[in-house]
Amino acid sequence: MPGHFAPLQRAPAFFKSRPSAHSPGRSTVSAPLKEASVVSIAGKCSISDSRNTRENVQQNRKLFQSALAANELALVSLKQFHSDVVSVFSSAPHEPCSGDASITNTPNLLLGIQTADCVPILLLDPKKRAVAAVHAGWRGTLQRIVEKTIGRMKMEFKTNPIDLLAAIGPAIGGCCYEVGTEVAAAFLSQFANAPEWFDELRTGDEPNPLQWLNQFPPGHQPPPKNVRLDLRKANRAQLLSAGLNPRHIFVSDLCTACRTDLLFSYRKQGSESGRMMSVIGIRAGK
């Protein structure tokens, strides 16, 4: 394993997490799993999938769990929809619930989040033996999903944020993640430190200083240039504002769009992109 979450190996033994990868140039569905510790979760989990695809996904999930020596844990995945919905699980549901974060203090549940550019965040409260898995794209980040997840852990499990360990997994980096200026404007309206998360902060409302020089008549200026957003930085800032110790926050520096040799990127690979799965769970009696 190229050590994306290596610092977490020093965390309590029941804190297990791994990003996954696939073989470049292969179909995401049929990509064989070659390495024991680098595991592929095939994408295409939608309703339109063929039966075969679904079977492959199931098979890959089984292999993924066995690579983690977590076969006895019941995988709890979500129907993610870029929301701020946090679900509490005390048992594995028969059908996946809709939401973008899950929390539990029940042993033998394996909370899973799927991403392919968005930020996966795993949280562990070693004192209260509770865990969380969070999916944060720009919409979830704007809606403070990770802060809301911590709030829910406080409510349900009496978690003290200072005890929490957090892993921010591979995601699209500030090097590659272009967003429209309207996204920058939305972040600026919500977060005082938003300017630190963009390569330059422009909201599209700035007057064009060269307007009088260009050939466009007034009201017909070219659309404003995009800006780049660092989602991991934004989520780390939310973890800090929720009260985490900065030394307890581990951030992968892998960019999904730069490293399609290793990771899936929706921006780079489009709808054919697979999904990676990040999981966390509590082993009974450990």
* Interacting residue ranges for Zn ion, rule: CB under 5 A: 173, 175-176, 255, 257-258
Q: Are 159 and 88 in contact (CB under 8 A)?
A: no
Q: How far is the CB of 186 from Zn ion (least distance, A)?
A: 22
Which of 76, 171 has the CB closer to Zn ion? 171
Residues contacting 54, CB < 8 A, separation 6+: 45
Q: How far is the CB of 117 from Zn ion (least distance, A)?
A: 10
Q: How far is the CB of 174 from Zn ion (least distance, A)?
A: 8
Q: How far is the CB of 8 from Zn ion (least distance, A)?
A: 23
Q: Are 132 and 116 in contact (CB under 8 A)?
A: no
Edge-first strand listing for the sheet containing 74-76: 74-76, 109-115, 276-281
Residue nearest to Zn ion (CB): 255
Q: List Cα–Cα distances, 252 to 186, 206, 261, 262, 274, in angstroms.
A: 26, 34, 16, 13, 19
Which of 36, 175 has the CB closer to Zn ion? 175
Residue 43 CB-half CA count within 13 A:
19
Q: How far is the CB of 278 from Zn ion (least distance, A)?
A: 19
Q: Which residues pair with 89 in a beta bridge?
A: none
In angstroms, the CA 253 to CA 84 distance is: 25
In angstroms, the CA 178 to CA 176 distance is: 6
φ and ψ of 133, to 5 deg: -130, 130
Q: Are 122 and 104 in contact (CB under 8 A)?
A: no
Query: 168-207 as b/e, with b when 16 or more CB fall inside 10 Å?
Result: bbbbbbbeebebebebbbbbbeebeebeebbeebbbeeee
Which of 226, 245 has the CB closer to Zn ion? 226
Q: How far is the CB of 268 from Zn ion (least distance, A)?
A: 9
Q: How far is the CB of 134 from Zn ion (least distance, A)?
A: 21
Which of 165, 257 has the CB closer to Zn ion? 257
